[in-house]
Structure 1
Amino acid sequence: MRTVAIAIFRGVQALDVAGPVDVLGEANEFLAPEDRYDVKLLADTAGTVRASNGLTLAPHDTFARGPGRFDLALVAGGPSLPRGDAPSGVTEWLSDVAARCDRYGSICTGAFALGRAGLLDGRHVTTHWQHAQQLADQFPHARVDFDRIYLRDGPLVTSAGITAGIDLTLALVAEDHGPQLALAVAKRLVVFAQRQGGQSQFSPYLTAPADDTSPVAKVLAHVMAHIRESFTVSDLAQIAGMSARNFARVFVQQTHITPHEFVERARMDTARKLLESTDAPLKTIAYDCGFGTSDRMRLVFVRRIGATPMQYRERFRATLQRRGDTGAAREESQR
């Protein structure tokens, strides 16, 4: 039997806990008793833990009284972790238990607890797309991947945001018992055994500048307002009222990306909004967003998010079909 510990704490994200637990619980339905997963929730104290959504979780044991070794030890995420509010008990437990586990890691923002335990240095890791830059800033020796759904670097495993804990746990089940079992579990949970693309397809590429009156902010606004046009660094520098060389340097300092990268991200975000909210043909969207051709747009989509524009539209098209609308459509078709 494989022993699994999941660290929980006040304000934990409930789905970070429930997702992996349900994957392992479903896997147990297919496994012989000696091959099953024995899952324990551990916390600082024996009392119930209130999750960020208001649910209460009951730990099986405390960090102090729980077994000293597990086949797999995970820490769940929570909204407070990126702000530095990880309970000291979690950090101490991770520092101690990691050396005695075959595999250890995090779900979502649990990566911040791993970082405070000194377990991310030199490692390839991921976390929720919304907090990936924070993780990279707080732990500069970690190699943060902003796009991956989950990662394994030696014994360390990390997952992206929230439901990605399911993806990670399915991958671990496949590693332990083969892909067929992981597929059977995924079918039971009505999820993909292996999700296509990375988490970039769920995240916006652009964020508002800190100073919306700066020359760089003026350039950003101009590009978004004229996204169909082509731009060179010289063009953008002229809008900012700066030399091309100085503009490129200042732009990178303020945005952490090059002007070329910004323009491509802006085109991507605009195209994604149109794919989600309109039925416009791909060639029209490509032209309106400055890609020029649908083939060019397709290449950029595949490179950036691992999906074609059509695949993206199929996954994220905002359709809401009410029961009455269906009936009305049927009546219209019969006239």
Structure 2
Amino acid sequence: MKTLAMVLYPDVLLLDVAGPLEVFSMANRYLAPEDHYRLCTVSATERDVRASNGMRLLADHLLTDAPDAFDLLLIPGGPGAYNDKQASLQPWLLEATQASRRYGSICTGAFILGEAGLLDGREVTTHWSYIERLSQRFPAAKVSSEQIYIQDGKLFTSGGITAGIDMALGLLAQDHGKQIAVAVAKVLLVAMKRQGGQSQFSPLLAEVASEDSPIVRAQQHVLAHLKEPLSVESLAAVARMSARNFARVFARDVGMTPIAFVHSARLDRARNLLENSELPLKTVAYHSGFRNERCMRMLFCERLGLSPSQYRHQFG
């Protein structure tokens, strides 16, 4: 029997707790008794914990009486993870993660692991809207925004909220095979493997600054003239810079090349039209600045992992 522990703390997100636990609880219906998961919850100081939605949770263990090691130790996310360092958890986490066979986080639970130094040098992820914040707080971590969940050795981290269910299904498949995981996914009415990664949910461009600078003028020109041909040379002319210097300064200040910015802007425009209109794909491509529907489809598949029609079906 495998022991799975979920850590609780004030302001935890209930879905991060309940979703993954339900995967393993449901799996017990299909497994022989000796292969069952024994589920428990662990709290730092109080057994009675209030979640971020106001519901009260009762922990099975405090840190003082919790088992020394687990087959899987999970840290859920929530406001209490990124707004509070949960200092009382840190010494216990360091010992428990070393002793456990696997450990990981759901959503913003990665912040708690980061405070314990458990993300340093590791490839990790979190909810797409907290990627930059996680990177800034823990610069030694290799933070990725693409995958729904990531495995780095015995460390598992997942994207936002329902991605914890995806990760739990993946862990279940590792333990007992794909057939059991598919059976559980069907009962929960979720996909065993989602198309695309987290980028399909998040805007590809941050909001353009409002100050007047050569680079900002070029960015604003892109957003206002997406249907026009946009080359490095034409944008450098808008910025009144040489093409070579413009490309260098743009990449330094924006974090991507001018052409990557143009592609991201066109993708964001197309996504907005797919979500909020019934325009034909050919018309969406035209209004977004793509040469044709095929070019739009190629960039969608490359950057988002799904086609424009699949994106509209999922989000439209």
Structure-2 separation of matches of 1:258 and 1:79: 34
| Residue 297 of structure 1: how far off its partner (Å) | 0.9
Structure-2 separation of matches of 1:236 and 1:210: 17
Structure-2 separation of matches of 1:253 and 1:57: 47
- Residues 47 and 62 of structure 2 are in contact (CA less than 8 Å); yes or no, is this contact kept in structure 1? no
Q: Does 1:141 align with 2:140?
A: yes
What secondary structure, in the 3-state scheme, does the structure 2 residue paired with 1:52 have?
Answer: coil
Structure 1 range deviating more: 222-231 or 158-167: 222-231
Structure 2 residue identity aligned to 1:284 = T
User: What is the aligned partner in structure 1 of residue 35 from structure 2?
Assistant: 35
Structure 2 residue identity aligned to 1:269 = D
User: What is the aligned partner in structure 2 of residue 122 from structure 1?
Assistant: 121
Structure-2 separation of matches of 1:9 and 1:169: 20
Structure-1 separation of matches of 2:255 and 2:193: 32
- Residues 127 and 159 of structure 1 are in contact (CA less than 8 Å); yes or no, is this contact kept in structure 2? yes
| Residue 76 of structure 1: how far off its partner (Å) | 0.7
Structure 1 residue identity aligned to 2:305 = G
Structure 1 range deviating more: 287-296 or 252-261: 252-261
* Residues 254-286 of structure 1: CA deviation (Å, up to 9, x unaligned): 322221111110000000011111121212211
Structure 1 range deviating more: 175-184 or 128-137: 128-137
What secondary structure, in the 3-state scheme, does the structure 2 residue paired with 1:298 have?
Answer: helix
Structure-1 separation of matches of 2:91 and 2:253: 37
Q: Does 1:267 align with 2:266?
A: yes
Q: Does 1:183 align with 2:177?
A: no
What secondary structure, in the 3-state scheme, does the structure 2 residue paired with 1:109 have?
Answer: helix
Q: Does 1:113 align with 2:112?
A: yes
Identity over aligned residues, as a percent? 50
Structure-1 separation of matches of 2:81 and 2:251: 28
1:48-87 → structure 2 map (5 Å cutoff):
48-83=48-83, 85-87=84-86
Structure-1 separation of matches of 2:34 and 2:218: 63
TM normalised by structure 1 equals 0.90
Structure 1 range deviating more: 42-51 or 175-184: 42-51
What secondary structure, in the 3-state scheme, does the structure 2 residue paired with 1:147 have?
Answer: coil
* Residues 61-115 of structure 1: CA deviation (Å, up to 9, x unaligned): 11222001000001111134334x2211222222111111111110011111111
Structure-2 separation of matches of 1:46 and 1:135: 27
Unaligned runs of 5+ in 2: none
Structure-2 separation of matches of 1:51 and 1:219: 45
Q: Does 1:90 align with 2:109?
A: no
Structure-2 separation of matches of 1:171 and 1:276: 30
Structure-2 separation of matches of 1:213 and 1:81: 37
* Residues 186-214 of structure 1: CA deviation (Å, up to 9, x unaligned): 11111111111101111111111345433
Structure 1 range deviating more: 17-26 or 90-99: 90-99
- Let me know the Cα RMSD of the aligned residues: 1.5
Q: Does 1:291 align with 2:290?
A: yes
Structure-1 separation of matches of 2:248 and 2:210: 17
Residues 1:231 and 1:292: Cα distance change in structure 2 (over 3 Å): same
TM normalised by structure 2 equals 0.95
What secondary structure, in the 3-state scheme, does the structure 2 residue paired with 1:119 have?
Answer: coil
What secondary structure, in the 3-state scheme, does the structure 1 residue paired with 2:79 have?
Answer: coil
Q: Does 1:165 align with 2:164?
A: yes
Structure-2 separation of matches of 1:69 and 1:285: 54
What secondary structure, in the 3-state scheme, does the structure 2 residue paired with 1:170 have?
Answer: helix
- Residues 23 and 169 of structure 1 are in contact (CA less than 8 Å); yes or no, is this contact kept in structure 2? yes
Residues 1:254 and 1:295: Cα distance change in structure 2 (over 3 Å): same
- Residues 47 and 61 of structure 2 are in contact (CA less than 8 Å); yes or no, is this contact kept in structure 1? no
Structure 2 residue identity aligned to 1:77 = G
| Residue 135 of structure 1: how far off its partner (Å) | 1.7
Structure-1 separation of matches of 2:57 and 2:212: 47
Structure-1 separation of matches of 2:54 and 2:217: 43
User: What is the aligned partner in structure 2 of residue 327 from structure 1?
Assistant: none
User: What is the aligned partner in structure 2 of residue 323 from structure 1?
Assistant: none
User: What is the aligned partner in structure 2 of residue 22 from structure 1?
Assistant: 22
Structure-1 separation of matches of 2:246 and 2:136: 24
- Residues 78 and 110 of structure 1 are in contact (CA less than 8 Å); yes or no, is this contact kept in structure 2? yes
- Residues 27 and 184 of structure 2 are in contact (CA less than 8 Å); yes or no, is this contact kept in structure 1? yes
Residues 1:52 and 1:167: Cα distance change in structure 2 (over 3 Å): same
Aligned residues, how many? 316
Q: Does 1:208 align with 2:207?
A: yes
Unaligned runs of 5+ in 1: 318-335
- Residues 63 and 89 of structure 1 are in contact (CA less than 8 Å); yes or no, is this contact kept in structure 2? no
Structure-1 separation of matches of 2:53 and 2:240: 49
